[in-house]
Structure 1
Amino acid sequence: MVAENAAPLSRDECAAATGIARPLVAYHLDKLVEHGLLEASYARPAGRNGPGAGRPAKRYQNVRREFVVWAPARDYRLLAELLVRAADEADGEVKAAITRAAREVGYSLGSSANADPPGREQTLHQILRGRGYQPYQAEPGLLRLRNCPFHSVAASYPELVCGLNLALIEGLLAGLGDNPENALLAPEEGACCVAIRTSATNDRERPR
Structure 2
Amino acid sequence: MSEQTLHDPAGPPAVGESRAHVLDVLRATPEAVGVREIAAQTGLHSNTARFHLDTLVKEGLAESSTEGLGRPGRPRTVYRAVASRVPAGRRSYQLLAQMLTGLITEALPQPAQAAVNAGEAWGRYLADTPSPTQRIDAEEAIRRLTQVLTGVGFAPGPAENRPDPVIPLHHCPFREIAEEHRDVVCSLHLGLMRGALKEVRASLGVDRLEPFVEHSLCLAHLAPAEQHGADRTD
Q: Which residue identity is paired with 2:154? A: Y
Match in the other structure for 2:216: 191
Tell me which of 170, 174, 183 is aligned to 1:146. Answer: 170
Tell me which of 101, 104, 117 is aligned to 1:84. Answer: 101
- Provide the C-alpha distance between the structure 2 equivalents of 1:161 and 1:117, rounded to a whole number of angstroms: 29
Match in the other structure for 1:160: 184
| Conserved? CA contact 2:198–2:205, under 8 Å | no
How far did residue 96 of structure 1 move?
3.9
Q: Deviations over 1:75-100 (max 9, x none)?
A: 22221111001111123155543332
- Provide the C-alpha distance between the structure 2 equivalents of 1:145 and 1:197, rounded to a whole number of angstroms: 13
Change (3 A) 1:136 1:195: same
The DSSP-based 3-state class of the residue aligned with 2:157 is: strand
Tell me which of 100, 103, 124 is aligned to 2:117. Answer: 100
- Provide the C-alpha distance between the structure 2 equivalents of 1:131 and 1:83, rounded to a whole number of angstroms: 20
- Provide the C-alpha distance between the structure 2 equivalents of 1:80 and 1:192, rounded to a whole number of angstroms: 21
| Conserved? CA contact 1:145–1:194, under 8 Å | yes
Aligned pairs, number:
133
Q: Please report the TM-score for the alignment, with normalisation by the length of structure 2.
A: 0.48
Change (3 A) 1:165 1:128: same
RMSD over aligned Cα atoms: 3.2
- Provide the C-alpha distance between the structure 2 equivalents of 1:107 and 1:158, rounded to a whole number of angstroms: 22
Higher relative contact order (CA 8 A, sep 6+): 1
- Provide the C-alpha distance between the structure 1 equivalents of 2:116 and 2:222, rounded to a whole number of angstroms: 21
Q: Which residue identity is paired with 1:72? A: A
* Percent of residue pairs identical: 29
The DSSP-based 3-state class of the residue aligned with 2:187 is: helix
| Conserved? CA contact 1:88–1:160, under 8 Å | yes
Tell me which of 117, 120, 131 is aligned to 2:152. Answer: 131
Q: Please report the TM-score for the alignment, with normalisation by the length of structure 1.
A: 0.53
Which structure 1 residue ranges, 5 or more long, are not aligned?
A: 5-68, 200-208
Change (3 A) 1:175 1:128: same
Q: Which residue identity is paired with 1:173? A: L
1:164-179 correspondence to structure 2 within 5 Å: 164-179=188-203
The DSSP-based 3-state class of the residue aligned with 1:101 is: helix
- Provide the C-alpha distance between the structure 2 equivalents of 1:126 and 1:99, rounded to a whole number of angstroms: 20
| Conserved? CA contact 1:111–1:176, under 8 Å | yes
The DSSP-based 3-state class of the residue aligned with 1:166 is: helix
Q: Deviations over 1:93-151 (max 9, x none)?
A: 55543332221111111254768626433222222111111111363132111111110
- Provide the C-alpha distance between the structure 2 equivalents of 1:166 and 1:97, rounded to a whole number of angstroms: 12
Q: Which residue identity is paired with 1:122? A: R
